[in-house]
Every structure is written in C-alpha cells, then in structure tokens.
Structure 1
Amino acid sequence: MIVHTLIYRFPDDVAEEQRAEFFDAMRQLVLKTGLIKGFDHKPHLWLPADDRARGMTAASIAQFTCDDLDSLQKFSELPEVYDFVTDWKRRLRFEAAYANHEALTPSSDLPS
C-alpha cells in the first residue's frame, strides 16, 4: 500500500467552511476515481511553540491510500485531478507539501 500525505497551510482569511468544502470535494474526487482506497483529513493541533516555528506549519493534513505507485501515478495524471488542484488553489491560495510513502509503523524501539 502507498500513502499520499498532504500538508496544507491556508491564508488567515480562508474560513473554516471553505476548508471543509475543499476537503469534502477532495474526498469525492479521489474516491470516485476507483484508484484511491481510503481518504481522511484532520486539522493540525496547534501548540504555542508553533507561533515561533520556522518553515511551514500546517493547518490541515490529508492522506489517501492506493494499492501501488502505478495507481497513484494514474490518479495524479487524471485531467480532473489537475483541474481540481488548479481551481481550488486559485480560490483558496493554499500552500501544500506532499510525500508518497509506504505506511508508517511508529515504534517505541530505539535502534541498538
């Protein structure tokens, strides 16, 4: 399984309702393609230290899963995916970073 993790930051004037509409539309798009197996998103849980953080601090995280890299590539090359990203980026002016990776399995084991 391949996981596509997206990290979003939105301008301060983007209302929570607009963000919810964006993620609802994203869920509908990714799942209707048949190439994506699961989708979820959550808000970043803000800490006081985040006010002083360097670099991009997220507002929201989204993840979706697919069977393999080939499926993810097919998905990413769909015209409707390009149109979705282009349209919503114009409307919400968000910044995004992403990573494609295998599912993580956090462990408390320290390396020897």
Structure 2
Amino acid sequence: MIVHTLIYRFPATVTEQDQQEFFAAMKELLDRHDTIKGFDHRPHLWLPADKGSRGITASAIAQFSTESLDDLKTFSETPEVYDFTTQWKGKLQFEAAYANHEQMSV
C-alpha cells in the first residue's frame, strides 16, 4: 500500500468553509478513481510553540492511498488532477508539500 500525504498551509484569508469545500471537491475527485483506496483529512492541532516556529506549520493534512506506486503515478498524471490542483491553488493560494510512502505503523 502506498500512502500519499499532503500537508497544506492556507493563508489567513481562507475560511474554514473554503477549506471544507476544497476537501469535499478533493474527495469527489478521488472517489471517481478506482485506484484510490482511501481518503481522509484533518486540521493541524495547534500548540502555542507553533506560532513562532521557524519551519512551515501546516493548516491541514490529507492522505489517500493506492495499491502501488504505479497506480499513484497513473492517477497523478491525469488531466483531471492537474486541473483540480491548478483551479484550487489559484482560488485559495495555499502552499503544499507532499510525500509518497509505504504505510507506517505508529
């Protein structure tokens, strides 16, 4: 199982409603592809030290999984994924980082 972890940082101008619409649209996109095996997202849980941290502190985290890296590659190269990313990044002006990794047991 391959997990695709996305770390989002939304500007202060992006409302909670905007974020919910973004993640709902992402879920709709993912649900249309049989290779996607799961999806979830959660807000970052803020600590007082996060306000002054030197690194980038996330607003939210999202994850979805596929059976293989090839499945993830095929999905991520679709025009639909490119269009989704371009549209929402233009609208919300978020920053994002991601990692592809095998499922972890914590």
TM-score by length of 1: 0.93
> Partners in 2 of 1:93 and 1:35 — Cα distance?
28
2:75 corresponds to which residue? 75
Distance 1:56 1:11 in 2: 12
Displacement of 1:31: 1.8
* 1:40-74 Cα shifts (integer Å, max 9, x gaps): 00000000000111121000000000000000000
RMSD over aligned Cα atoms: 0.5
- Paired amino acid for 1:54: R
Aligned-pair CA distance for 1:28: 0.7
Partners of 1:21 and 1:41 in 2: CA distance: 12
Name which one, 1 or 2, has greater alpha-carbon Rg: 1
Unaligned runs of 5+ in 2: none
- What is the match of residue 31 of structure 2? 31
1:8 partnered with 2:42: no
TM-score, structure 2 normalization:
0.98
Please state whether the residue corresponding to 1:37 is helix, strand or coil: strand
Residue 61 of structure 1 is matched in structure 2 by: 61
Give the equivalent residue in structure 2 for 1:86. Answer: 86
Percent identity reads 62
- The ranges of structure 1 where at least 4 consecutive aligned residues each deviate by more than 4 angstroms after the TM superposition are none
Q: What is the alpha-carbon distance in structure 1 between the residues aligned to residue 101 and residue 36 of structure 2?
A: 14
The code of the aligned residue for 1:66 comes to: T
